[in-house]
Structure 1
Amino acid sequence: MNRLEPAQTLPQAQPSKRGPWRLLWLAAGLTALGLLLGVLGLYLSAWSCPDLSSASLSDYYWDTPALWYLNLLPGVILIWLFYFLTGRCWLAYLASALLLLGLAAANYYKIQLRGDPLLASDLALISEAGDMAGKYTLELTDPIRTVLLWAAAWLLLALLLLPRRRTIRRDLRLFGLFSAIAVAATAFGGLYCNEDLYEQTQAGEDLVNPWIDAEAYLSHGAVYAFLHTVQDLVPHPPERYDPQAAQAILESYAEADIPEEQEVNVVGIMLEAFCDLTDFPALADHEAVQAVYEPWHQLEEESVSGNLLTNIFAGGTVDTEWGFLTGYSQHQDFTKATDSYVWYFARQGYQTRGGHPGFGWFYDRENVNRYLGFLEYWFTDNHYGELVDPVEAQWNSDYILTGEIVKDLQAQLEESRRPVFSFSVSYQNHGPYEEDHTSLEVYLDPEADGLPEESCNVFNNYLHGINLTIDAVTAMVDELEAMDEPVVLVLFGDHKPWGGNGNSAYAGIGADFDLSTLEGFYEYYSTPYLIWANSSAKEALDRDFQGEGGDFSPCFLMNELFEQCGWTGPAFLQYAEEIRSLTPLVHSQGLYLTPDGELTDDLPQEVADRLLEYQWVEYYREHKVVPTDGT
């Protein structure tokens, strides 16, 4: 029997002398790519606002070490996180680039088109944003082209120079992944949510206007500023919030019923992008523009009228809408039944109804309106789709909307003796408006009026729709006047219209939008409102509904309505009226109006303390009060 030969041992693999250098090259390459993404993000941030000097903003970034650190760090963390997740250098770079440069580009276009920056809360509206973006022209500008070329070049280098295969064991990658997540969480909580650090890195007024959201945001760099807004996704109470004190303040007022003999019907309509262009000096005396607004001005003479001082410009319509319906000067997302003035009308026995010739999913209105107390609401999905195509509704739907409002009001009053609170939102006149040609009527002519051709085209196309809107509104007023039932009508604009990329059309008519001045603030943020009543309502309430209503934030519009009707109203409205007497403007920019009509960001300490308590009560009412319809 043959003996087995001893087993032959294979030669042991010798550690590669290239191994450590390969890992060092990988680490240096990935880190450099992450830093590059941060640099490209800062570059695009500096070019995002046409009113700012990109060179000066870039200098400020690089002269402020904390800023370049805070804007470059996310790219490094992300690329390592994706590398540990995928094991592929090029894929880690590509995924990080799509996220960070996509964020910077989205902010760039949002500021260019609408004048406001990208916030973390905008991610909840991603489908709406995609729908709206398709209606604007996203120009492939030089800054965007530069970023794309550099990003593509470095992707190619990552493919050529960095390892394509997995070079780190799975267990080590798993450890690295959890480490990267831990570093990201620590950085977010310790750096990006740090309010003191955010204030310290705010550029001075010699570089940006701190009262303009986009400029203040960009002074931090888009990536840092965006990450700073993530914390706003989680409801957080105002400074030194005292729920017991808030509850005591609110409960010190007793809700007052509407007297039965004063139960008039209320119809509210928020008009899309509605503003009065004759408020701009360049168009104030223009005959053709005056002719468009003449019926509106006549209606103002027959009403209580003034200006809403909104928080928004060219977009974000629900901020004004929900301010009117709830009375909140600021609020978080509505995800459950939330106390509002709509619920008050329901408790008073009113039928709460409304409509919008757009999709119910837009701004999640189909759910939010229910949370705010509407019994029934019509959208494209459940009513208006049979009457007008949703695309056509953007250009010509106000005749249909106003007609349906009157028909529904009459039908409800015939079927039930209960009064109606109706609130609708128009869609006609939504921007953008054609810049390169005038589609129909010519109101402004470049040669005759000495205005830029782009400004004339934008405002000609806007005025065409506004002319139809005013005609539809005045026709509705005639129908309401003919009714025997008492009706009070509230009309207001949600924000100024879009006016070209970088507000170029406004610049063409001489608007400088200097928010440090009262004139500039009004040019940017004011929209008209009016409160009109038919003869039956005037008789029932024994009021004439004429005169100046004053200028104030949208959250105080319901206060003015109740004052004109002679109603005391719910507890919160009574309390809010005291705040309105201190400052009729409570603006998201931290701006206020003194009783003398001066714009300020510095209030007397006593008034500032009252406003802080007001924020407590708002937060308490929104989060702790459970609304009922009175049944």
Structure 2
Amino acid sequence: MLSFGSFEHKDVGDVLHIQMTDGNNNVVYNTDIPVRKINPNQTYPIKMDNTVTIPKGVTCCIRITCSSDGNSYAVIPTLNTTNRTDPNTYMSTLKMQTHAKSLNISYTYKFRQMYPLIVMIFELVILFVLCFEHISEMAGVYRKRYLKELKKKKKKKDKHKKSRSIKDVVKWCLAHRKFIVYIRRITFVINPFVIFLMLETMNQTLELMRPGVWPFTWLLLFAVELIIYAVCRRQSLSMLILNFIMFPIGLANLFIMNVRGTPFLPADILGVATATEVADHYTFSLSPSQFIIIPAFFIWNLFVFRIAGRKNVKEPLKLNIIKRAVPIAASVFIVGIMYNTSILEACKITDDVWNKVGSCQKNGFYMNYFINLHYLKVSKPSGYSQERVKKIIEETKSDTANTSQAATGKKVVSNSDFKTNTSLNGKKPNIIYIMNESLADFSKIGTVNYNRDPLEFIHSMKDNTISGLDYVSVFGAGTSNSEFEAMTGNTMKFFPSGCNVYQQFMHDTTYSMSYYLKSLGYNCDAIHPSSAKNWNRVNTYNSMKFDKFISIDDFKNPEYIRYISDKESYKKVIELYEKRDKAKPLFLFNVTIQNHGGYLTNTNWKQPIEVEGKYYTEANEYLSSTKESDNAFKYLIDYFKAQKEPTIICMFGDHQPSIETEFYEELLGKTQDKWELSDIQKRYATPFILWANYDIGSADDVVLGNNNLENLLLKSAGIELPVYNKFIEKVSETIPVMNVNGYMDNNGDWHNYGSDETDEIKKLLDDYDILQYGYYSDIDKQKLFGK
């Protein structure tokens, strides 16, 4: 099946030519399709000969061209794809997991076939010329010649004007030093705009931007350039420094959009080290426009370098200070006006905190990045005071309704429907809390068929098992934010958009689940089979008062399935359990990594999982990986089934994987542009499974927010909730599910924050915001987290 996008028949060729070659470059299939038979935004079936099969593991190549009368390489209709290669001759390398007789190909560009190549050759020629022709040196040579010619001329003026050639004009210009000075000054002014155009084009946001954003973006970049100039006092050097700061940031946005589907934000700078740990598992390809922009960027900077002037002469100190102070003052004024006033908002340049991709497209990458600088700190909520915090705490203590008494007439089963377990008669069980990387259960949120169930064991768990959907606040990335919610009961709803709590706001003792359990006599250990520095965990776990942190350095010759396998991680759980201090109960927090993106590693799977009907390279690899996770979880459960000491295990997914958008569209039964809030929330739903080797009852189809998962686990372990968690329990009676996108009511309906809030819900959310802010303030936190 070929999936076509939007196109006009008059803009493309008449006949589509499709050719398939095998690994030896032999043509195994060839066909021509009249374009008039192809409808925009629909799929077209390709009927292949039954003898055409592609053996498993063989790399094949699909070549698509389009022709019309008198043009053998016409523009081809738009194809939906994730592969980015040639414009008109579409070449795609596909790794087939099974014998295939139909293929779902995607993507191309409306460029002439030779256009990117011709432009690049032209750019290389310019680059060559600039490399070997120093403009300043040329100016000196021509100036000497010019002065020599003047001496030979007669003092009398010619009565007749001589016509000048272009070459003469160039010689005249280069012979005058002021001309180069003027060129340099003009370039200094327009350089921010040129870089803005280049990098917004590279990020494919230029055509979608609001027109009013352009001058503000230029002003913003010009202000940065002025600050650099104030420091170095060299125009060309200032331009080069600005350009080589902005260019890597633009590339970072390309990479992050490719990986997680959201733009690069200020808080992401703190996660660069973490990103480099997994970067080799992702593929990064350039479109034709990006292929052109990158050499153009270097050509422009070489031009800037070539017009550099001589070193500044010494100036009086007072004059030097003035020349540095003026550009700094101008920069501060420009940035201050844009940052601290409503001028951007008045020009309709605003941020959509619920749609970061849309904001980036409308505002452009650089302006969007600037706007999000506002979110680097937590704002004090309206009405906040220490007295208000203490009042909420006292109300929570005296409110008997906070002891898990669910509201009547509910249509959903949530955390508040479960009471504290009493089957252990006060004995504290061992608690194993597992955050499984990118774990998703698509069968609970949509319709899709596989060749086998990737979570077969998990779906078979019934006895002493509570399971359902856990709504998190991140998609495709942002693991540590889900970890933070699940460990503290806090919600990302009240944190700045796009922030990372572990890296920005964890500076002192953090009253988390581990801190609370430690106060009850537990030994608390954490496991993560990757670098301890990722997401600042090495410091965060210290602030959470974990006794021990097992990182990748503590795994000797581990098994790898893409990364260190889940089974290897669970072996470490069992090892710590067997070496525990038996005089104390054990709390283990395990963060796995096996299912981490990207999903184009061509792993040789023992039990490959494939989506039926269509071929999704990334989805199939991801699902095959989760099958191995399912097997590993069975290994862990089987071990603890044989243990007599009471133990409870809770596993949940940190977020869903960033795989083909087309897969999610098929899963939800509608294209992304038609998704409503309820559809969007389905991409934020991960499974949770709570099992114990003692009686905790059974339930499935439970729904809760990630901030409530800790409460359900503590109650199932028979542990009394601290007062802060009791307040969260009270909130969950009215708001069973909430995350960064919105909240669900007791009827199972989703709502946006703000416009849909009743007075009761607004008060609960305001109190929650105030109490959570107090969590980071200087009040006596023991009053929040003690009993």
Which TM class, normalised by the smaller chain length? 0.7 to 0.9
Conservation of the 8 A alpha-carbon contact between 1:343 and 1:372: yes
Alignment partner, residue 521 of structure 1? 680
- Counterparts of 2:767 and 2:623, CA distance in 1: 43
Q: Is 2:192 aligned against 1:34?
A: yes
Alignment partner, residue 380 of structure 1? 552
Conservation of the 8 A alpha-carbon contact between 1:394 and 1:428: yes
Conservation of the 8 A alpha-carbon contact between 2:192 and 2:218: yes
Shift of 1:323: 0.5
- Counterparts of 2:249 and 2:670, CA distance in 1: 30
Alignment partner, residue 401 of structure 1? 569
Alignment partner, residue 6 of structure 1? none
Higher relative contact order (CA 8 A, sep 6+): 1
Conservation of the 8 A alpha-carbon contact between 2:473 and 2:740: yes
Shift of 1:505: 5.0
Q: Which AA in structure 2 matches 1:178? A: A
Conservation of the 8 A alpha-carbon contact between 1:85 and 1:173: no
Conservation of the 8 A alpha-carbon contact between 1:251 and 1:571: no
Shift of 1:166: 3.2
Alignment partner, residue 222 of structure 1? 365
Q: Which AA in structure 2 matches 1:487? A: T
Q: Is 2:769 aligned against 1:623?
A: no
RMSD, matched Cα = 3.2
Conservation of the 8 A alpha-carbon contact between 2:421 and 2:716: no
Alignment partner, residue 10 of structure 1? none
Q: Which AA in structure 2 matches 1:38? A: F
Conservation of the 8 A alpha-carbon contact between 1:41 and 1:223: no
Q: Is 2:267 aligned against 1:121?
A: yes
Conservation of the 8 A alpha-carbon contact between 2:474 and 2:655: yes
Shift of 1:258: 10
Q: Look up the SS of the partner of 1:261 in the other structure.
A: coil
Alignment partner, residue 497 of structure 1? 657
Deviation readout 1:332-352 (Å, 9 max, x if unpaired): 421211222221111111111
Which of these residues, 531, 534, 556, is aligned with residue 690 of structure 2? Answer: 531
Name the CA shift for 1:173/1:498 in 2 (closer, same or farther; >3 Å).
Answer: farther
- Counterparts of 2:375 and 2:353, CA distance in 1: 20
Conservation of the 8 A alpha-carbon contact between 1:492 and 1:528: yes
Q: Look up the SS of the partner of 2:689 in the other structure.
A: strand
Shift of 1:33: 0.8
Q: Look up the SS of the partner of 1:34 in the other structure.
A: helix
- Counterparts of 1:148 and 1:579, CA distance in 2: 52
- Counterparts of 1:19 and 1:141, CA distance in 2: 41
Map 1:220-299 onto structure 2 (within 5 A).
220-254=363-397, 261-279=426-444, 281-283=446-448, 285-286=449-450, 288-290=451-453, 292-299=454-461
- Counterparts of 2:443 and 2:268, CA distance in 1: 33
Conservation of the 8 A alpha-carbon contact between 1:387 and 1:400: no
Q: Look up the SS of the partner of 1:219 in the other structure.
A: helix
Shift of 1:275: 0.8
Name the CA shift for 1:445/1:340 in 2 (closer, same or farther; >3 Å).
Answer: closer
Q: Is 2:716 aligned against 1:564?
A: yes
Which of these residues, 450, 474, 493, is aligned with residue 312 of structure 1? Answer: 474
- Counterparts of 1:594 and 1:513, CA distance in 2: 24
Q: Which AA in structure 2 matches 1:326? A: T
Q: Look up the SS of the partner of 2:468 in the other structure.
A: strand
- Counterparts of 1:270 and 1:515, CA distance in 2: 31
Shift of 1:195: 6.7
Map 1:219-618 onto structure 2 (within 5 A).
219-254=362-397, 261-279=426-444, 281-283=446-448, 285-286=449-450, 288-290=451-453, 292-299=454-461, 302-330=464-492, 331=495, 332=501, 333-381=505-553, 383-384=554-555, 386-388=556-558, 392=560, 394-412=562-580, 415-434=581-600, 439-441=604-606, 443=608, 449-452=612-615, 455=616, 457-500=617-660, 503=661, 506-507=664-665, 512-513=671-672, 516-535=675-694, 538=695, 543-544=696-697, 546-548=698-700, 550-589=702-741, 591-601=742-752, 602-618=756-772
Shift of 1:94: 1.8
User: Which stretch has the larger CA shift, 247-256 or 273-282?
Assistant: 247-256
User: Which stretch has the larger CA shift, 610-619 or 463-472?
Assistant: 463-472
Shift of 1:174: 4.3
User: Which stretch has the larger CA shift, 163-172 or 329-338?
Assistant: 163-172
Shift of 1:445: 6.0
Conservation of the 8 A alpha-carbon contact between 1:337 and 1:626: no
Alignment partner, residue 13 of structure 1? none
Conservation of the 8 A alpha-carbon contact between 1:111 and 1:117: yes
User: Which stretch has the larger CA shift, 574-583 or 487-496?
Assistant: 574-583
Q: Which has the higher strand share?
A: 2
Alignment partner, residue 218 of structure 2? 72
Alignment partner, residue 283 of structure 2? 137
Conservation of the 8 A alpha-carbon contact between 2:281 and 2:598: yes
Shift of 1:571: 0.7
Identity over aligned residues, as a percent? 20
Q: Which AA in structure 2 matches 1:465? A: S
Greater Rg by CA: 2
Deviation readout 1:206-234 (Å, 9 max, x if unpaired): xxx87332223432221122122223333
Name the CA shift for 1:195/1:570 in 2 (closer, same or farther; >3 Å).
Answer: farther
User: Which stretch has the larger CA shift, 402-411 or 268-277?
Assistant: 402-411
Aligned length: 573
Shift of 1:42: 3.5
Deviation readout 1:230-261 (Å, 9 max, x if unpaired): 23333432344333212321244459999972
Q: Which AA in structure 1 matches 2:656? A: K
Conservation of the 8 A alpha-carbon contact between 2:261 and 2:658: no
Conservation of the 8 A alpha-carbon contact between 2:608 and 2:620: yes
Deviation readout 1:459-515 (Å, 9 max, x if unpaired): 332233212211111121111121111111101011111215xx4554576674568
Deviation readout 1:30-57 (Å, 9 max, x if unpaired): 0111222223343345x16xxxxx63x1
User: Which stretch has the larger CA shift, 393-402 or 366-375?
Assistant: 393-402
Map 1:99-114 onto structure 2 (within 5 A).
99-114=245-260
Conservation of the 8 A alpha-carbon contact between 2:236 and 2:305: yes
Name the CA shift for 1:164/1:214 in 2 (closer, same or farther; >3 Å).
Answer: farther
Q: Which AA in structure 1 matches 2:596? A: H
- Counterparts of 2:759 and 2:322, CA distance in 1: 53
Conservation of the 8 A alpha-carbon contact between 1:339 and 1:625: no
- Counterparts of 1:569 and 1:281, CA distance in 2: 35
- Counterparts of 1:30 and 1:120, CA distance in 2: 26
Shift of 1:161: 4.2
Q: Look up the SS of the partner of 2:473 in the other structure.
A: coil
- Counterparts of 2:529 and 2:702, CA distance in 1: 31
Conservation of the 8 A alpha-carbon contact between 1:513 and 1:520: no
Alignment partner, residue 11 of structure 1? none
Conservation of the 8 A alpha-carbon contact between 1:395 and 1:465: no
Conservation of the 8 A alpha-carbon contact between 1:277 and 1:289: no
Q: Is 2:334 aligned against 1:180?
A: no
Name the CA shift for 1:249/1:76 in 2 (closer, same or farther; >3 Å).
Answer: same
Stretches of structure 2 lacking an aligned partner (at least 5 in a row)? 1-175, 404-419, 496-500
Which of these residues, 157, 182, 190, is aligned with residue 337 of structure 2? Answer: 190
Q: Which AA in structure 1 matches 2:637? A: V
Name the CA shift for 1:136/1:411 in 2 (closer, same or farther; >3 Å).
Answer: same
Deviation readout 1:6-37 (Å, 9 max, x if unpaired): xxxxxxxxxxxx89877654432201112222
